[in-house]
Structures are given as C-alpha cells and as structure tokens.
Amino acid sequence: MPRNAGFNLKQRKVLVVGGGFAGLQCALDLASEPDLSITLLDRNNYQQFHPLLYQVAAGYLTPGNAAFASRDFVKDYPNVDVQMVEVKAIDLYHCSVTTSEGAEYAGDILVLSTGSHVNFYSVPGAEKFSHPLYSLRDAEALKDVLYSRFEQADVAPPAQEPLNIVVVGGGATGVEMAGTIADMITRVVGREYRHLRPEMAKASDRKRSHSFKGLQRSFSGLCRFRPTR
C-alpha cells in the first residue's frame, strides 16, 4: 500500500473510499486521533457541492463555484492522505481495494462512502434519453443540451407547440431545476435569442405523486397550485 513518509508505522490504518460529504467528514472526524493514519480515495480530487449543481446546469455558476479541493480540507492534518484513484474492486475480508491502474490499498479499517447513483426505475428509454444531475459533469452536459436546444429553436422557432423541457423528480433538486429553467426562459430566451419569445418555451416538473419529498407542506401546496411556469 502506498504510504506517506510522515506516517507513524505503529498507527492503525483507516482506508476511506469516497470523498463526498460522508467520506470527507469521516476523515476529518478521525484526523484528530494521533494513533490513526487515514487514506482517502476518490476518483476526483475535489468535493462536489450537490446543492449547487442546478445552478451550474443553468450556466449561472461556473463548475469551480460548486467544487472544493479535497486536500484543502485536510491540509492541517499530517495523518490524512488524499489519493485521486478510481476503485474497481473491494475486498471486505482483507479491508483492501484495487484501483483501475492495478494498485492495491489496504487498511486495518475500511470505510465505504461511495455515494449513490441515478435510479431510472427500469423506465424504458430513461437512461438513454434523459439527462441525470448527479455530478459536475452531468451539470455541464445538461447546460450544453439546454443551450443547444435554445440555439436550434432560434434557427427554427416552434410553429405552434412550445419547446417543452420536462424535469422528472419532485424533490428539492427537481423543483430547483424546474424553477431555474423557467427563470432561464424568462431572463435569457427573450434577451439573447431574437427569434424566440419566452412563451415559446415551457418547463414543467413531472412526478409520480402530488407530494414533493423533503419539502414543507406549505411549499408543496404552492408547487401543486403552480406546477408549470
């Protein structure tokens, strides 16, 4: 296992896989224990701030505004080492992992905090034709798609039906994304695209139930009263 030369060999080794909120906080909480050496593994050397991804997707923020260097958080802790690697295999019995480059990392304690991924719920065509919003790469790709659609519609404006943008998911991210797209239509479309008018585009939020998960009932009621902007 690659070691930091400054680590005490008598320290117990903690291997943390995943540098998101949970993994990074775990490393920080353990960093104050002098008898532990912590190695944090993640495919990125930055932490993505998920609550701001919809702003990046809209072009209101740059990717740098929603990402923070992982090493900046642990720079004051000599017993924490951050490695940018992609884990491909995990051996729970031996508390070890193997990276895409074939390197092996092992520890006395293995912490898995690899996060979640998009669940398309086996909806036919969803994975192929929809655009997830789970990472900075997703946000940048979605921004390119949105503005590309505006450009195409500016060249050939929709004759009767508006340009429809459907957001699937009624949680906080879905509501924020739908509202921000509606704001884009109002603020950007009419100002930057001469052949488009705001009423030519429409954003709506599609969900399975009438409740917006994680939101207060009063706000959910407002969203139901005005489902489309």
| CATH code for position 87 | 3.50.50.60
Query: How many separate domains does the chain show?
Result: 2
Indicate whether 58 pLDDT > 90. Answer: yes
What are the φ and ψ backbone dihedral angles of 91, each rounded to 5 degrees?
-115, 100
Determine, yes or no, domain membership for 94: yes
Kindly state whether residue 33 falls inside one of the protein's structural domains.
Answer: yes
User: What's the rounded mean pLDDT across residues 143-151?
Assistant: 92
**Is residue 4 in some structural domain?**
no
CA 50 to each of CA 11, 41, 45, 135, 218: distance values in angstroms, whole numbers, following the listed order: 34, 19, 15, 7, 24
Structural Rg of the chain based on CA atoms: 22
Please give the residue range of the domain that contains residue 97: 12-112
DSSP β-ladder status, 46-48 and 96-99: unpaired
Question: Is 5 contained in some domain?
Answer: no
Are 102 and 153 within one domain? no
Distances (CA, A) of 5 to 49, 50, 80, 150: 31, 34, 12, 54
Full-model pTM: 0.78
User: Average pLDDT, stretch 69-94?
Assistant: 97
| φ, ψ dihedrals at 105, nearest 5° | -125, 135
Which of the residue ranges 34-48, 85-99, 192-206 would you say has the lowest mean pLDDT?
192-206
**Same domain (yes/no): 144, 212:** yes
Six token digits for residue 177: 């994304």
How long is the chain? 229
